[in-house]
């Protein structure tokens, strides 16, 4: 029962700390040892924390405790603040919150596998709305490799099963390809334009005019300051007239122009009924709903404190490789 | 038994096309989400420039599948299907599907088909839609020596993804 209360509600902070001590013995030991080591960190760890600081994304549900309990671990808040942005940058390291699918050992093994794969391939930071180029090893292709460019419309799955979908309009025909993020047939992933959109997924682009999802295959990666925050594209997409692939009125879409003139009175009635029955207004106060659909902040901190050192090392080495100019032998021109 | 059957069937009769209540009960909802499967009587889009295919698409009567040449009776990329096109029976190869696909296989917004004859020779001379790269492998596997040669549709494709 104590475990019900998530960390993040200030008045419950001591209870949540107690519950943490009770519920996760071994992991919390690892967590505290990490915290004790905190002041005398290695360079890599400092680099990782800097990495975390530069990603100043708002952490809405991971609210940190401002009026801290004097008996609490003094490093805890600092740690949680540091690792708060990681869940946006590396969302696939967090397990699926469904309780019957949780398995700590499997999750740990999967994280190790993911780090191993990340040491072989540079998986860049990207979000729904970013434009990516993926090169795939394909035995059917003439040069044994196949490249696809498109806008990321969806990210789904966790850990080794995480997937992302790219969409593009080729010769006037919409094409979508779903890639497994950790599939070994992927040779290269490049982020051509790093930006976010207003919605969690952009599946509504299937019902939008093609110009919203048309990107040239020879697109050049845009230069950006690596320390700058990720820009949010507030583009409002104008949907095609109905029929649509899905009932977009039920999705509370932010990045879509007003389509209320498309809806009939029957659909308005249904929409209002649906909003009422789904608890549309009250969902944000539903503690159990939040509990079932999120990973607690303290558990996130454990996970990321486990992997952040290796991630920072990988990021640093891959950045160094990028900075190195590839030597191109000058060719003789007649 | 027959009475029981009738008892079950009679309320359903209200929803048949011949029922007088049909204008009142228009069933424009689905109980389950759409799987976008290609099966018998599915409409597909002809994407080559064959005269009959273009005409059928222009008239708003796209080809309708009446047989799928495999044991599952569900068509996917690379399957041969029999269709009615403007009242004629034509064979075709599915070159793009709406269905969810596995890693690296493209999913298109429409179900695309290319018309062929019995020998695998395409009726048109050009395919306007992007073709999945996996079709190259599938078509080569399906081609039998001294039988139908399906690789000809790969040579008229304009673009692979």
What pLDDT was estimated at residue A75? 57
Interface test with B, best of A140, A162, A164, A167 (most B CBs within 10 A): A140
| Between A191 and B24, residue with greater pLDDT | A191
Chain B nearest-CA distance from A145, in A, is: 10
Domain A125-263: top CATH class: mainly beta
Interface test with A, best of B28, B100, B133 (most A CBs within 10 A): B133
pLDDT of A44 over the 70 cut = no
Task: State the complex-level ipTM.
Answer: 0.80
Q: How far is CA A224 from CA A88, A317, A323, in A?
A: 19, 19, 14
pLDDT of A273 over the 90 cut = no
Residue A170 · residue B132 · CB < 8 Å: no
Instruction: Assess if CATH 2.40.150.20 describes domain B36-155.
Output: yes
pLDDT of A329 over the 80 cut = no
Interface test with B, best of A146, A166, A173, A176 (most B CBs within 10 A): A173
CA-based R_g, chain B, Å: 19
| Between A243 and A209, residue with greater pLDDT | A209
Tell me the pLDDT tens digit for each residue of B99-143: 999 999 999 999 999 999 999 999 999 999 999 999 999 999 998
Tell me the pLDDT tens digit for each residue of A219-236: 999 998 888 999 999 999
Q: How many CB pairs under 8 A join A and B?
A: 69
What pLDDT was estimated at residue A318? 74
Cα–Cα distance measured from residue B132 to residue A136, given in angstroms and rounded to the nearest whole number = 13
Residues 6 or more apart in contact with residue B4 via CB below 8 angstroms: none
Token pair for A106: 């499997």
**Residues in chain B with pLDDT < 70?**
1-34
Residues 187-246 of A with CB under 8 A from B: 206
Query: Of B104, B159, B160, which has the smallest distance from its Cβ to A179's Cβ?
Result: B104
Q: Do B101 and A146 touch (CB under 8 A)?
A: no
Residue with tokens 């191993």: A116
What pLDDT was estimated at residue A193? 95
Ranges of H-type helices in chain A: 13-23, 25-37, 43-54, 76-83, 86-89, 104-118, 265-277, 287-293, 297-323
What pLDDT was estimated at residue B32? 60
Q: What are the boundaries of each domain within chain A?
A: 2-117+295-323, 125-263
- pLDDT classification of A218: cutoffs 50, 70, 90: very high
What pLDDT was estimated at residue A21? 38
CB-based contact, A287 to chain B, within 8 Å: no
Residues in chain B with CB shorter than 8 Å from the CB of A171 are: 128-130, 158-159
- pLDDT classification of A74: cutoffs 50, 70, 90: low
Q: Do A185 and B159 touch (CB under 8 A)?
A: no
Q: Do B128 and A140 touch (CB under 8 A)?
A: no
Tell me the pLDDT tens digit for each residue of A2-29: 343 444 333 333 334 433 433 333 333 3
Q: Do B130 and A173 touch (CB under 8 A)?
A: yes
Q: What average pLDDT does the structure give for chain A?
A: 79
Nearest-Cα residue of chain A relative to residue B134: A140
Query: Of B100, B134, B161, which has the smallest distance from its Cβ to A170's Cβ?
Result: B161
Strand order in the sheet with B107-108: A186-193, A131-137, A145-156, A163-170, A173-180, B107-108
| Between A9 and A103, residue with greater pLDDT | A103
- The alpha carbon torsion through B150, A146, A110, A87 (nearest 10 deg) reads -130
What pLDDT was estimated at residue A72? 60
| Between A77 and A3, residue with greater pLDDT | A77
Residue A35 · residue A49 · CB < 8 Å: no
- pLDDT classification of A84: cutoffs 50, 70, 90: confident
Residues in chain A with CB shorter than 8 Å from the CB of B159 are: 170-171
Tell me, yes or no, if the pTM score tops 0.80: no
Nearest-Cα residue of chain B relative to residue A148: B161
Nearest-Cα residue of chain B relative to residue A203: B109
Residues in chain A with CB shorter than 8 Å from the CB of B136 are: 140-141
| Between A99 and B19, residue with greater pLDDT | A99
Token pair for B82: 């029999």
CB-based contact, B42 to chain A, within 8 Å: no
What pLDDT was estimated at residue A194? 95
- The alpha carbon torsion through A203, A205, A206, A210 (nearest 10 deg) reads -160
- Ranking A90-94, A184-188, A281-285, B80-84 by mean pLDDT, the lowest is A281-285
Q: Do A177 and B105 touch (CB under 8 A)?
A: yes
What pLDDT was estimated at residue B31? 60
Interface test with A, best of B106, B108, B126, B160 (most A CBs within 10 A): B106
Chain B nearest-CA distance from A141, in A, is: 6
């Amino acid at each position: 029962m104590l475990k019900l209360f998530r960390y993040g509600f200030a008045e419950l902070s001591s209870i949540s700390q107690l519950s943490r001590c009770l519920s996760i013995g071994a992991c919390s030991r690892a967590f505290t040892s990490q915290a004790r080591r905190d002041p005398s960190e290695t360079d890599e760890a400092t680099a990782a924390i800097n990495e975390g600081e530069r990603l100043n994304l708002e952490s809405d549900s991971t609210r940190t405790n401002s009026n801290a309990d004097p008996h609490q671990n003094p490093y805890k808040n600092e740690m949680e603040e540091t690792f708060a942005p990681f869940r946006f940058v590396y969302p696939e390291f967090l397990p699926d919150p469904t309780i019957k699918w949780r398995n700590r050992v499997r999750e740990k093994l999967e994280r190790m596998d993911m780090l191993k794969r990340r040491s072989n391939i540079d998986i860049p930071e990207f979000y729904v709305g970013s434009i990516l180029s993926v090169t795939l090893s394909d035995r059917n292709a003439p040069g044994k490799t196949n490249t696809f460019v498109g806008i990321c419309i969806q990210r789904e799955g966790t850990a080794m099963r995480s997937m992302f979908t790219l969409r593009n309009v080729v010769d006037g025909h919409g094409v979508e390809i779903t890639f497994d993020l950790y599939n070994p047939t992927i040779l290269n992933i490049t982020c051509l334009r790093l930006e976010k959109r207003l919605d969690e997924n952009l599946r509504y682009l299937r019902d939008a005019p093609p110009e919203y999802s048309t990107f040239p295959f020879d697109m050049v990666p845009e230069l950006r300051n690596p320390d700058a925050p990720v820009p949010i594209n507030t583009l409002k997409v104008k949907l095609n007239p109905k029929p649509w692939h899905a009932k977009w009125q039920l999705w509370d879409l932010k990045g879509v122009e007003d389509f209320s003139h498309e809806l009939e009175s029957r659909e308005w009635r249904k929409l209002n009924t649906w909003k009422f029955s789904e608890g549309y207004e009250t969902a944000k106060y539903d503690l159990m709903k939040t509990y079932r659909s999120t990973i607690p902040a303290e558990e996130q901190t454990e996970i990321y404190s486990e992997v952040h050192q290796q991630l920072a090392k990988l990021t640093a080495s891959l950045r160094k490789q990028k900075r190195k100019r590839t030597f191109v032998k000058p060719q003789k021109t007649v | 038994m027959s009475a029981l059957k009738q008892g079950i069937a009679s309320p359903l009769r209200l929803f048949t096309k011949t029922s007088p209540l049909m204008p009142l009960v228009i069933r424009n909802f689905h109980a389950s989400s759409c799987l976008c499967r290609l099966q018998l009587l599915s409409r597909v889009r002809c994407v080559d420039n064959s005269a009959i295919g273009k005409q059928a698409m222009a008239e708003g009567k796209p080809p309708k599948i009446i047989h799928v040449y495999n044991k599952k009776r569900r068509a996917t990329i690379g399957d041969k299907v029999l269709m009615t096109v403007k009242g004629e029976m034509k064979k075709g190869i599915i070159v793009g599907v709406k269905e969810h696909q596995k890693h690296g296989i493209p999913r298109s917004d429409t179900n695309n088909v290319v018309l062929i004859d019995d020998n695998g020779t395409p009726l048109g001379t050009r395919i306007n839609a992007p073709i999945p790269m996996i079709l190259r492998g599938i078509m080569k596997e399906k081609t039998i020596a001294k039988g139908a040669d399906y690789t000809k549709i790969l040579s008229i494709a304009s673009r692979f993804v």
